[in-house]
Chains A and B, each alone.
Chain A
Amino acid sequence: MSNYCADHIASLVQPDRVHRDVYEDPKLFNLEMDRIFGRSWVYVGHASQVPNPGDFFATRIGLQPVVMTRHSDGEIYVVYNRCAHRGVKVVNEECGNAGRFMCMYHGWTYDTNGDLDFVTQEEGYPNHKFEKARDGMGRVAQWGAHNGFVFANLSSSGPSLQDWLGENSGFLDDVAISAPDGRVEVSGGVHRYLFHGNWKMQVENLIDMYHPAYSHESSSAKSGQQFSRREGDKGGIQFFEKRGKVRSMDGLGTHALPHGHTWQGGLPPLENTSESHREYVALLEKKHGPDRTREILTKKRHNVIFYPNMAMQELNPHIRVIRPVAVNRTEIFIYPVKLCGAPDTMFRDQLVNLNRTHSPTSLVQTDDVEAFARAQEGMLASGNKWILLARDGPKETLPSGRIKTTGTSEEGMRNHYRAWLNYMCSGSPT
């Protein structure tokens, strides 16, 4: 690995700026995989992706292959996707159902909780006594779920899942309650796209309310409004005031939480006239009454980041998984979140709008990833080796430790780097 000392790493993050090396240095990227993705809680998947015993979903934690399974005991397990014998990746499909996992190389089999099941021609190991767990695929150190959202931690130290989630668990609760049945599921396929840039650029962009009018101007109409993001919405996000003046997003607010989690305040509500929306509201009102329903429908947050690798949005609900590949290469997977009990037509409209906003052919994300690729290239200019994150505004610290400030403040990014430093420099995360 690298011989970077904590002092050197700490020198790359100043109060109002970060050194370009944090985006460009492959050695730091390897350290991030080890120290951030190797010891933070990391989003893995949703329980609804593995509803039945034998169901599995293969993914990665950092660069490491893992499988989330539903074992015959009904419980979810997160195991390394690796044969104990010669290290071959065992599960080669993204998802499916299996009684056991069999390694293709020498036919060893494993239970769906990762335990060793069977070694072929075992008599050839006279001096090795096999143990189910030790010679299994290996379970990750910790995993747990909140409302079906499964997170895992490759390290056994650090905060509990609930402590790490902090106020973000309230967001997951809000998402669940916005479903008429009180629960959500991940279905509706996945959008996958790629960019030639560092993974942190996507994380930072998600709470950047300074960029939309400039980066996404081409997606706004003459009225200064973006195209509507939901079926039946009267208009879209207002980027510009009438005379072509950029409308400030400061009023939305930025919220910086412990552990690098960050969210934006909710977008101003738009009147929605679609039949499916009316039906949806009626279902919620039947269950919760009109006052509580109004509260549920008033979105308190827009993008919510679960640092380091996941973000969610409540408008057209979806999960965004950030998958680092290399220092200058990142994959993004977008999973629609279905509000169980809501009209099918509403889910259809949600999918249609995700095609427009969150796909490789999107009218919005494509300009973001263009910015990431150009940043990755622009930073190679060595006249200035620093990335400025100085944008600020009035702020207050709430009793929970959450910092609330203006919508276009770069406090959110500075918050990411506080967590980044903590993971990268300390012996063990706190």
Chain B
Amino acid sequence: MTIEGGSATDELVLVRKIEKFLIREVDLLDDRQFDDWINLFTEDGYYWAPASIDQRTPDAEVSLFFDDVPMMKTRFARLRHPRVHSQIPPSRTSHMLSNVCVSKKHGSELCSAEARFQMLEFRLGYDQRTFGGKYEYDLVLGPDDRIRIAVKKATILNCDDIHLPIAVPF
């Protein structure tokens, strides 16, 4: 945790605030509150899960996920469709995050955060899967105390594995 030019109390308050926000963010995925999850993102925000461990940009190579807000809406509208065959029955997930690090310049409304995570995923008929790795966030701290996500990047350890279908973001 580093806040340039801030006091120790500022640091503690901010870190706790960001942690609570990140816990809520992954909880929304596990609770399948996908519309609320989308609403955490800024209008031009995006969610990115690289397909190779050292992938620098989603613009020059394919990615596991690279969703802007309109794409998130299309993705989750499909998951609500009564005949989304590959999700009947649906996947259950359980996200955990830890090792949260926050860095912010004093006075700036922008803040970045990193965390380690694990996601368990189970769909009846298939083996339970474990995905895990690193989250990197670019966050915007609003004047009304509202935090929004400009970028969420989730790099899973086995991003270049040969995967069975994946429905819920890491």
Q: Which residues of A contact B (CB under 8 A)?
A: 188-196, 215, 217-219, 221, 227, 331, 334, 336, 347-348, 351-352, 354-356, 359-363, 365-367, 369-371
In the complex, which residues 122-152 of chain B have their Cβ closer than 8 Å to any Cβ of chain A?
none
Q: State the CA gap A354–B59 with chains docked (Å).
A: 12
Q: State the CA gap A369–B85 with chains docked (Å).
A: 10
By a CB distance below 8 angstroms, the chain A residues around B60 are 188, 347-348, 351
Does B75 make an interface contact (CB < 8 A)?
yes
Q: Of A347, A351, A360, which contacts B163 at CB under 8 A?
A: A360
Which residue of chain A is the closest to B162 with respect to CB atoms? A192
Which residue of chain A is the closest to B64 with respect to CB atoms? A361
By a CB distance below 8 angstroms, the chain A residues around B58 are 351-352
Q: State the CA gap A169–B22 with chains docked (Å).
A: 53
**Contact indicator per residue, chain B 11-55, by CB within 8 Å of chain A (1) or not (0):** 000000000000000000000000000000000000001011001
The reply to whether B166 and A361 form a contact with Cβ atoms under 8 Å apart is yes
Interface segment out of the listed B1-9, B76-84, B93-101, B102-110: B76-84
* Nearest Cβ on chain A to B163's Cβ, whole angstroms: 4
Given known A193-B163, A193-B165, A360-B166, contact A355–B62 (CB-CB < 8 A): yes
Q: State the CA gap A382–B63 with chains docked (Å).
A: 41
Which residue of chain B is the closest to A214 with respect to CB atoms? B83
By a CB distance below 8 angstroms, the chain B residues around A227 are 74
Q: State the CA gap A227–B160 with chains docked (Å).
A: 27
By a CB distance below 8 angstroms, the chain A residues around B55 are 189
Nearest 6 Cβ contacts at the A-B interface = A189-B61, A218-B81, A360-B163, A370-B86, A366-B165, A218-B84
Given known A218-B78, A218-B85, A356-B71, contact A361–B165 (CB-CB < 8 A): yes
What are 5 A-B interface contacts by the 8 Å CB criterion? A218-B78, A219-B78, A221-B77, A351-B60, A363-B78
By a CB distance below 8 angstroms, the chain B residues around A331 are 162
The reply to whether A363 and B74 form a contact with Cβ atoms under 8 Å apart is yes
The reply to whether B59 and A351 form a contact with Cβ atoms under 8 Å apart is yes
